[in-house]
Amino acid sequence: MTDTAAGRARWAPGDHILWRYRGNASEQIHICRPVTVVRDTDDVLAVWMAPGTECVRPVLADGTPVHEEPLATRYTAPRTTTTSRWWGTGVLKLARPGDPWSVWLFWERGWRFKNWYVNLEEPRFRWSGGVDSEDHFLDIAVHPDRAWQWLDEDEFAQARRVGLLSAAKARRVEEAGSAAVRLIKSWDAPFSDGWEHWRPDPRWAVPELPDDWDRTPVNMAP
């Protein structure tokens, strides 16, 4: 980590940090993904989650994957966490300071670009070991031809029904989604920045999941 001329602590390309999510209506970390910093500026934090990365993810108390639980009880059934390897081809995550979403890029094998994915979430809290956020259920898929579609609307509605999102917070999430759609329609950054042509440095090692992945954040220097 380095200090910029403006006095802000920044990570350097190749640094390993943690990209984490708290449980909804909870301070407990239930998703943790070790990532490699691609770029960290006043405009964007870009990180790479490599194939084979060991991650923390939530599961039901009996080990059943969350998505296999019926929607009616998906957010009320007891949960725990487990670790597993990221099986995909890798994910590039882009986050602009203050935005209530991050934009993820996915590729097929052979680096054929698949799509962008707008993950609605709390603006990320930066700390010495990485960034923390809270997922807001509702997402947007953006295809290479610029067509887009809402995702997980049923999960968003169910989270409201069981009290994980208050009416006021749900409105803020919907407003954030509308703002993201305007960004997509105008094709502003990061969609217009050519990130789909980016490739990771082949010298980068896959980051390791630390034993204290759920440690309490330590504030970064301002």
The CATH superfamily assigned to 2-197 is: FomD-like (2.40.380.10)
Q: Tell me: the pLDDT tens digits for 183-215?
A: 999 999 999 999 999 999 999 999 999 999 999
Query: pLDDT value at position 1?
Result: 55
pLDDT higher than 50, residue 171? yes
Q: Tell me: the pLDDT tens digits for 5-37?
A: 444 689 999 999 999 999 998 889 999 999 999
Full DSSP string of 175-219: HHHHHHHHHHHHT-TTGGGTGGG----TTPPPPPPPTTTTPPP-B
| CB-based contact 10:126 (threshold 8 Å) | no
| CB-based contact 207:35 (threshold 8 Å) | yes
Q: Which two tokens stand for residue 126?
A: 């930066």
Q: What is the overall mean pLDDT for the chain?
A: 94
pLDDT higher than 60, residue 168? yes
pTM, rounded to two decimals:
0.93
pLDDT higher than 60, residue 221? no
Q: Tell me: the pLDDT tens digits for 31-86?
A: 999 999 999 999 999 999 999 999 999 999 999 999 999 999 999 999 999 999 99
Query: pLDDT value at position 26?
Result: 84
Backbone angles phi, psi at 182, to 5 degrees: -60, -40
Query: pLDDT value at position 146?
Result: 98
Distance, CA of 107 to CA of 113 (rounded, Å): 4
Q: Which two tokens stand for residue 215?
A: 């440690």
pLDDT higher than 90, residue 172? yes
Query: pLDDT value at position 2?
Result: 54
Q: Which residue has the higher pLDDT, 133 or 4?
A: 133
Query: pLDDT value at position 7?
Result: 44
Query: pLDDT value at position 9?
Result: 85
Q: Which two tokens stand for residue 198?
A: 């980016």
| CB-based contact 126:92 (threshold 8 Å) | no
Among 18, 20, 9, 1, which Cα is nearest to 42's?
9
Residues 6+ apart with CB under 8 A from 9: 1, 2, 3, 128, 220, 221, 222
Distance, CA of 177 to CA of 20 (rounded, Å): 21
pLDDT higher than 50, residue 126? yes
Q: Where are the domains of the chain?
A: 2-197
Distance, CA of 131 to CA of 118 (rounded, Å): 17
